[in-house]
Structure 1
Amino acid sequence: MSRHSRQSAVPTANLNVARRHYCDLDGFRAIAALAIVCMHVQVRGGYVHANQWLVDLVSPWGTFVTLFFIISGFGMCCGYYERVKNQTIDLAAFYTRRIMKILPFFALLVCIDVVSERFSGNSLWEAFADLTLVFNLMPDLDIQVIGVGWALGVIFLFYFLFPFFVYLMGNRRRAWCTFVISTVLSLSCVFHFFKADGHIDDRRFIYQAMFFVAGGLLYLYRDVIACMGRGGRITTLIVALAVVPLLYMDVPAWASNIKQLVLWIPWMVYAISGDHRMFDNRVMTFLSGISMEIYLSHLFIFQVVNMLGFTHLFASDTASYLVTMVFVVVGVILFATVAHKSIAKATVWITVHRTARQTVVSNENNKESAR
């Protein structure tokens, strides 16, 4: 389908709008994944003598993880909100699909990490918690085995609670009440429910829940957003560009999540309003398809690059960082693509053989019944 036909096909009817694929969000996923890679490589590589402008530019990019949460809230509603609300969904199939989307690749990385730690006691306990996918419920979230997986734990807990989330987002009034409550709960983590040492554990689902609710609210208003005219889209883009400097502004801890909402919501509205070539292209679509794999495996690939001695090839930290980024990005794309395809083929093979086995058993049972 051409770009023009996709855009002209955006109707005002809620049902058809719900079925639309929001191509710009593919671009946002890709950009968010690569931005987080850039930040982590700069921090883990210890490029302390890199040009200050580069350090200042990249350092706040960890914030992009909350964009993932908003997209997850919106995307899950696009796929399942109506079916859960109307009770036309098989919950067993829903949870199976969510688990199979996440667990195989994550389990592969966990196994690699445990082997690299030589099966130490700590790594085995943490690996077990990781593989349950509900490790965000653990009392201590200082998990070193696939440490970046904390965000995956937050997202899976959102999947786990999604039917209740749909109830909370049952109408716009209730959704706004839920948003206010989730915001207050997030603030409570700052002002009251913090660690004994005074630090805020921002890896907790309850601290990040407001972003998923924001995604759900955007879904409830998707038809209104999709009907914005050209002037509305241009105005939204201007606002989105105007708030970008917020990414580099220091704010008090209590205002951190609010700042991120102000930063990302205009971009989400712009994406929902229509498809734009900058974010809707083959490269973005491809990277979006493996964005989860890129996020989860980039530190593993960085460790490989580091062990090979490729992280400080030059006297200049700036040059070393840029070259390391190329190695890591290329490596993580290759690893993610190969692993993604291998897991997909293995899943198909297992499914085919399981179906064949069930068919044989069923035929044998039918023969026994006929006798």
Structure 2
Amino acid sequence: MILRHYKNLDGVRGVAALMIIVFHFFALTDYNSNTYHLMEKITPFGKSGVTLFFVLSGFLISRILFNTKTDKNYFSNFYLRRSLRIFPLYYFSLILFYIFYPIIFNNPVASLKDIVVFATYFQTFPITFNWPIEGPGHFWSLSVEEHFYLIWPVLIYFLSEKSIKTSIFILLIGSFIFRIILSNQGYDPFYFSFTNFDSLSLGALTALMERNKKFTSSTFLKPISYFLLTTIGITAMVYIIFNGKEIHMITSLKLTLISVIYFLGISLLILLKPQNLINKTLEAKPLSFFGKISYGTYVYHIFIIQIVRDMIPTSIWFLDLIIVILFSTLIAFLSYNLFEIRFLKLKNNFTYSGPNLKDAKIRVS
């Protein structure tokens, strides 16, 4: 099969980035406003934008891996292309954080140990287990994806698709159990690598479903739509009934349900016709543009929030939020076109040679 480029998923990436920016804005600021405090109660859901990123990434990465596993340069092409996309901006931002951040905000300089932890993508461990660490905390999700990338290509290469389905089931159950164990020990299960592999593997399940010729709108559109609505209803009931109650299994169940909602949502989007109103909205230029630079907006937005909060606040939360979004977009746009694009062009040296991907237009951020 020739891999289709889903323009609507660029918009989904943009939506996820906006969700996270809004969540962090309300988590890191404080305004004396009734509407602000009302929004504070709603915006924590934006935290799940990271889960949406995981499901989406699991889908986009897995569909490439499934279709290139016969390539002689399967591993080298994948890891080199991923490195060119992720590492330059990641390490550039670490330099900014550890050198310029202390100067701008008059903070103490981080220790070499902290720098090594973030440089080697091990930050999910101290963040989860409350070990003292100084660094850009929101980079935990980048660590999760890197850990998944180390494991998943190997499994896809050596296992049959039937065994991959079994692996996905094991990751689903394993992540759920891991979350219960961590919650029971008093740790937040949201930030650990192995407790997020279910989201990424559900994205991989969507990629497997896409490979099935029977996965068509006429066959699956209605069942997935009904299942999605049912899961949303169950999730809402769980949140309402158990709001404020610390029950470890329920905490783990909530995260699983959110992952399933995004898995079903993305599966539904690839079945909907392009002229569908939802897809037309997601394919609109503003969301597509925001999705294209979403990696940069995710990396830079925390710094922008802190600068706006500490140095140029207007005392009007809505105006400050708009400033944060605009500046995050501007910085990410400049970063993409002046810095990242230089490395992205090098990906052309490691093109996929398989017949399934030779003519396909694919973007994975």
Relative to the length of structure 1, the TM-score reads: 0.77
Deviation at 1:77, TM superposition (A): 1.6
Counterparts in 2 of 1:186 and 1:140: CA distance versus 1, 3 Å = same
In 2: Cα distance, 1:82 partner to 1:136 partner: 31
Counterparts in 2 of 1:288 and 1:247: CA distance versus 1, 3 Å = farther
The 5 Å alignment of 1:157-168 reads 157-167=147-157
Q: What residue is the counterpart of 1:268 in the other structure?
A: 266
In 1: Cα distance, 2:112 partner to 2:19 partner: 31
Contact 1:60 1:248 in 2 (8 A): no
Q: What residue is the counterpart of 2:72 in the other structure?
A: 88
Q: What residue is the counterpart of 2:139 in the other structure?
A: 149
The answer to whether residue 274 in structure 2 is matched with residue 290 in structure 1 is: no
- Could you say which structure has the larger radius of gyration? 1
Which amino acid in 2 is paired with 1:163? P
Contact 1:32 1:68 in 2 (8 A): yes
In 2: Cα distance, 1:45 partner to 1:202 partner: 22
In 1: Cα distance, 2:302 partner to 2:116 partner: 20
Deviation at 1:226, TM superposition (A): 5.0
Which runs of no fewer than 5 residues in structure 2 stay unpaired?
A: 243-249, 348-365
The answer to whether residue 299 in structure 2 is matched with residue 302 in structure 1 is: no
Q: Which moved more, 1:298-307 or 1:113-122?
A: 113-122
Which amino acid in 1 is paired with 2:268? Y
Relative to the length of structure 2, the TM-score reads: 0.78
Equivalent position SS for 1:21: coil
Deviation at 1:131, TM superposition (A): 2.3
Q: What residue is the counterpart of 2:55 in the other structure?
A: 70
Which runs of no fewer than 5 residues in structure 1 stay unpaired?
A: 1-14, 315-319, 352-371
Contact 1:114 1:123 in 2 (8 A): no
The 5 Å alignment of 1:110-149 reads 110-115=94-99, 116-117=101-102, 120=108, 122-136=110-124, 143-149=133-139
In 1: Cα distance, 2:57 partner to 2:255 partner: 16
Equivalent position SS for 1:343: helix
Equivalent position SS for 2:64: helix
In 2: Cα distance, 1:199 partner to 1:349 partner: 42
The partner residue of 2:209 within 221, 225, 234 is: 221
Which amino acid in 2 is paired with 1:129? V
What CA RMSD, in Å, does the superposition of the two structures yield over aligned residues?
A: 3.0
Deviation at 1:244, TM superposition (A): 4.5
In 2: Cα distance, 1:83 partner to 1:350 partner: 19
In 2: Cα distance, 1:178 partner to 1:92 partner: 23
Q: Which moved more, 1:142-151 or 1:112-121?
A: 112-121
Structure 1 residues 263-291: Cα deviation after superposition (integer angstroms, max 9, x where no partner) = 21221111111432011122222111111
Equivalent position SS for 2:282: coil
Aligned pairs, number: 325
Contact 1:47 1:321 in 2 (8 A): yes
The partner residue of 1:29 within 3, 6, 13 is: 13
